[in-house]
Amino acid sequence: RPAGKPASKVRIVSYRRNSVTLEVETAEHGVLVLHDSYYPGWEARVDGARRPVLRANLLFRGVEVPAGTHRVE
């Protein structure tokens, strides 16, 4: 990370076959990328609000996360 930029933190709360729950803390808006295969039909929620699942680097899945502390499912 560039000098002076605060680190983001991600903690895995639960990782199951059909669901993942994470706690994310970030100072800036960004995209959380999971090193899991993207597949159409996945759903994501940030603090309970539905968000689109993004295709990241062609193969992985991601979700936009605003600055602050959030629960991503």
What's the pLDDT tens digit per position in 17-55?
A: 889 999 999 999 999 999 888 888 889 999 999 999 999
Query: Model's pTM, two decimal places?
Result: 0.85
User: Within 10 Å of residue 27's Cβ, how many Cβ atoms?
Assistant: 11
pLDDT of residue 2: 60
CB 56 within 8 A of CB 38: yes
Count of residues in the chain: 73
Proportion of the chain in helix, strand, coil states, percent, rounded to 5: 0, 60, 40
β-strand partners of 9: 25
Locus of tokens 């990782």 = 15
